[in-house]
Amino acid sequence: MNAKPHIAIVGATGAVGVEMLNTLEKRKFPVGELTLLASARSAGKTMNFRGRAVPVRELTRDSFKGIDIALFSAGGSISKEFAPLAVKAGCVVIDNSSAFRMDDAVPLVVPEINPEDIRKHKGIIANPNCTTAITLMALYPLHRAFGVKRIFASSYQAVSGTGAKAIAELKRQVGQIVAGEPVTKEVYPHQIAFNVLPQVDVFLPDGYTKEEAKMENEGRKIMHHPGFRASVTCVRVPVYRAHSIAVSAEFEKPVTVAAARAVLAKAPGLDVVDNPAKQEYPLPLYATEKYNCQVGRLRKDCAMDNGLCFWVAGDQLLKGAALNAVQIAEELLK
């Protein structure tokens, strides 16, 4: 791999694409050359990188000649069509969609958890689901110490997970309600402002949604833990960009709050924010635009043996997407 690689961002003008560009700049990633790719609709726009305007080009079948690493965030159908073409052109693809996550030939990576899996790539590396990544930042260190058997979890997911149009919809609806105007909706099936929707993604035949199934399936793969079980309810809340998850976890070994806190305090990419006496706990508002996830509300689970409850929050666009992808690219350079 070139020490100063030619980087492409596919879906550069979307909510995650914008964060990928910002993250490359903020983390001083050694970008040799930069190519920004998007749909024909966005072609011709410019985006700023390191003080210069970079034009956005239309994504085509031959966009990948000479590119070393392509960060994809343009949806599953685009990834399925264009990622194999990028690999054929000699490019390594880091894909943010769900297209390849459960493919046995594709590593699914959170760099703080399973960086060694990156070495097994055959051209494509998958970025996990945002809720799964944020949850595992706190769960995995505990798993290493105490051996997790199963979790029961509820997520409180920001609208950024649906994309830039959903962020705009929440802003618009808040304005409409404040002005006493009728509420209009385009992105979600129900009003999201001042409401919560117990549906994220489409329903599966068993009554869970796709998003809820991802926690168990992706969690097993990332943690190399085929027996891991997760019963999850995913909820969309009127928050702009940080996800929160309430987790009750059952472990093989006895776990105390003090032992759990000691483990979490040493975990990379995680801050312990847990001082109930001062009303200090992770808040999506304060996790926004932070690289680290936050964990708090640590307590023994009173309904399970060897159980621990905790609350974790993290920026959906960063650790849940763009930051994780750039961290994978950083690992590739090592």
Amino acid at 196: V
**Burial tier of 23 (Cβ tally within 10 Å: 0-12, 13-18, 19+):** buried
Among the listed residues 6, 91, 121, 130, the single catalytic one is 130
Among the listed residues 234, 243, 293, 309, the single catalytic one is 243
Comparing CA positions, the residue from 43, 67, 47 lying closest to residue 57 is: 43
Residue 234 is a catalytic residue = no
What's the rounded Cα separation, in Å, for the pair 207 and 202? 10
Find all residues with CB under 8 Å of 58, minimum gap 6, and list them: 37, 38, 39, 40, 43
What's the rounded Cα separation, in Å, for the pair 128 and 236? 18
User: Tens place of pLDDT for every residue, the chain, 334 residues?
Assistant: 889 999 999 999 999 999 999 999 999 999 999 999 999 999 999 999 999 999 999 999 999 999 999 999 999 999 999 999 999 999 999 999 999 999 999 999 999 999 999 999 999 999 999 999 999 999 999 999 999 999 999 999 999 999 999 999 999 999 999 999 999 999 999 999 999 999 999 999 999 999 999 999 999 999 999 999 999 999 999 999 999 999 999 999 999 999 999 999 999 999 999 999 999 999 999 999 999 999 999 999 999 999 999 999 999 999 999 999 999 999 999 9
> 């509420």: which residue's tokens?
183
- What order of strands is seen across the sheet that includes strand 46-49? 46-49, 52-58, 33-38, 6-10, 69-72, 92-95, 124-126
CATH 2.60.120.380 fits 6-127+321-333, yes or no: no
CATH of span 132-316: 3.30.360.10
> 């709050």: which residue's tokens?
257
Residue 143 is a catalytic residue = no
Domain boundary assignment for the chain: 6-127+321-333, 132-316
